[in-house]
Structures are given as C-alpha cells and as structure tokens.
A = this chain, B = another copy of it.
Amino acid sequence: MFNDPIARSSRLSVMNFLNEAANRYPTAISFASGRPAESFFSLERWLGAVPVFLDHMARKNGSSVSLAEKRLAQYGPTAGIIEALVAEQLRIDEHIACEPERVVVTAGCQEALSLLIPALCRAPGDVVLARNPTYIGATGVADFAGIEIMPVEPLAGEDWARTLARVAAELRHAGKTPRGLYLTPEFDNPTGTVLNEEQRRSIIAGCVEHRIVVLEDNPYGMFRFEGATTPAMAALDDAGCVVYLATYSKTLCPAVRVGAAVVPKRLFGSASEADRLLAELSERKSFVTVNTSQVTQAIVGGVLLEQQGSLRAMVERPRLHYRRNRDALLSALHLAFGARNGEVSWNRPAGGFFLSLSLPFEFAREQTAACARDHGVIVMPMTFFTLDETHRREVRLAFSNTEESEIEAGVERLARYVDAQTSLVH
C-alpha cells in the first residue's frame, strides 16, 4: 500500500514540482532545501588534503608517495581505504566503539541505505519500518526495491518497546516480518526532533526482542546548538542490533559523496550473522559502485588526518551559523504567529537543519503553489515525507541554506499567506 506507484509518483512529482517552483519564482524565498550552507565549503583547501592522505598511505604501506598515488588512482577494496580514520572519528566525535573492520565506506550514506534495505528484506513479506514522517531517501529505496515501508509510532502511553511488539504482532498476523527500522534519532529530517535516551533504549530493547535491525542515520548529530548530547544508538547498543550510518556530506560537503555503514560485531548475539550482513553489504556494493571513489576518500581521509580525528573544530563555524538561522527563524515565527494562541505552532529544534510548523489548515501541493506564486515563499508540505495520511497540516521549514537576512521576510510572507487562508476559512 505504501509503496504503490501512485504514492511514489506523487512523492516524486512533489520533488519535481518544488524544483519547478524554485525556477518559476526565482525571487521567492525558499525554506524548501535542506542543503548545507555553502559559505563554509573550502573545496580548494580540502583538495589540498589529498597529499596528506597519500603520505599517510605511503607510510602505512611502506611504499613511495608516487606508488601510493598510482594505487590511489586504481580500483581498490570494496569496503574502502579510510575505514580506520572513519572509525577513529566516530570514536572521538560520536563515542561509538567502532572497529575499522566493521566499516564499509559508501558513495554517500544513500548508497548504504540502498544496499542495506534490500539486504535485510529479502523474502516476500519482509517489511522495513520507519518513523513517520521520514526521510524520502529511505522511502525511495524501499519503493524501487518493491519492499513495503511501514510507519511505526507509539500510541499514547506506549513506550517504543511495546510499540514494536504491537507492530511486529500485527505484521506477523498479516504474514509479514519487520526486518529493519530506519530512523534519524538526532534532529530528524523532516521534523528536527530528537529521541531521548530512554526512547533510544526502548527501541533497542524492542528491536532486539523482535530481531529488527536499526538503521541509525545521523547526518545532523554534529550540529547540536544547546543541551546535553544524547548517546548515539550505536553507542547504547550492547546487544548488537544497530547499523550506524555516517556521512561527510554535511560536515565536509555533499560533493565528496562519502558515507559509511558500521555493522556491529554481533547481530542479535550472533557473530556469524553480523559477518554475513557485512559481507553481503560489500558484495552488493561491488555490483553498484565497485568501490567508493578513492579520490574523494583521500579528501575525507586527508581532512580527518589534518583535523587529528575530530571534525568538531571544523564544524564550529557552520554550527554557529545554523544556530543563528534557527534563532532567527524562531524569532520570526514568534513575531508572525505568536498572537495566534497556538493556532499555528512549531517545535524548537536543538540542532540540525529543520523545523516543523503546524498550520490551521491542510497544506498540500496546491497550497505550495499558491504560497510560492502569490506570496513569494516556498515551503515543503510534510505529506511529502509521510507514509500515511497524517501530518496534513504541517510543513517542513529548512533553515540551513537560507540567508539569515531573508528568514524574517520569508516568515512574514508565509504569515500573509496563512492570514489570507484563514480569513477565507473563518
């Protein structure tokens, strides 16, 4: 039901439609794109890190730098050549006990998703679960692989372990088996929300109980603005049920197309099952991208060497930028909608790129068009990300790639649109 062609084509057509809207109304202020801020990219400097990695590679292999350069340009190991550096960064920055042998470097985190979901859901009736709404990249993989993707959300008063038990039982009853659970616990795309430690532990307990592999996506974790850090699920995972997905698209830049998957040492207690998943991940990758570009691996590897393993210092300026934008957005929303007594509401994301705004009316494609055309502001309907018919009054506001100076103006425009809509309704 959730991966029928109509739903898929409607999601894709929203994407096309948004691109079209951006082209058609070039003066519109856009909160639609969740791209990282370009102003902090330093591609020239990062390309300059390639020789740093070559030196490291030569030292490690006891070869000349010139031979290392030849080897870098050649085909290479499917799992990559920077696993040790990635593992070190995840140990330092995310406190994940991560061994290089468990890392598969991928052509962006999306490739890891595209390999893992079909690897986990092999039999007819195998289902992947996801929080709802969810990142379109997970939905797209499931759609194209013909795998059902199902929303999973706790009912009132239910903890996650019970939710997972309930959903697993319902699926079993329908002859189906949940194999994976995709989620972004930290500053979720599209909602900007965080799962607290208790929720994370409860999810792990439920997943272990029902042998569901958690795919923990964490593109935004390095961009926390305030409050205490919640441990990554992979760091809480004693039982072996979490595959951690890392990406350098937001900390460095998307053009490197370097991400990674970290497979635990044991999967539900079984070392051989974990090894099988790890091997299958590499096998599948060898028939998609062969290996991740060793040029871009060298960029990421060189930067990790220069930064001595941690990217915290490097992301400090963009992190402050995203926080300023978040603050500007919150102020603008308060100014524009604060007097509406909760008719319009929003969350206060403690990090990341996104905020979720709830409107007093449904907001779909038609409204997106009217809003862009008549009021010069582009926002993303939340239904673009939903796996069912809920969240119809919500929109996603991305504040990562908008100029601080445009945020207030954009929200004002949105408020005029909301005024126009609600005066029609009342």
Contacts and interface: CB of A to CB of B under 8 A. Distances in A.
Interface of A: 12, 35-36, 38-39, 41, 43-44, 47, 50, 69-76, 107-108, 110-111, 114, 118, 137, 140-141, 143-144, 249, 253-257, 283-284, 286-296, 299
B107 A257 contact: yes
Contact of A114 (B71, B140, B287): B287
10 contacts: A38-B71, A43-B72, A43-B295, A44-B69, A47-B295, A74-B253, A74-B254, A75-B249, A144-B284, A257-B292
Contacts of A257: 107, 289-293
Given A73-B38, A295-B255, A137 B287 contact: yes
Contacts of A110: 287-290
A163 B420 CA distance: 67
Contact of A38 (B74, B118, B291, B294): B74
A6 to B, nearest CB: 15
A255 B73 contact: yes
B144 A287 contact: yes
A110 B43 CA distance: 27
A249 B294 CA distance: 12
B296 A293 contact: yes
A27 B80 CA distance: 25
Contacts of A50: 47
Contacts of A36: 74
A35 B74 contact: yes
Contacts of A114: 287-288
B254 A290 contact: yes
Given A74-B38, A107-B107, A256 B295 contact: yes
Contacts of A69: 41, 43-44
A286 B11 CA distance: 13
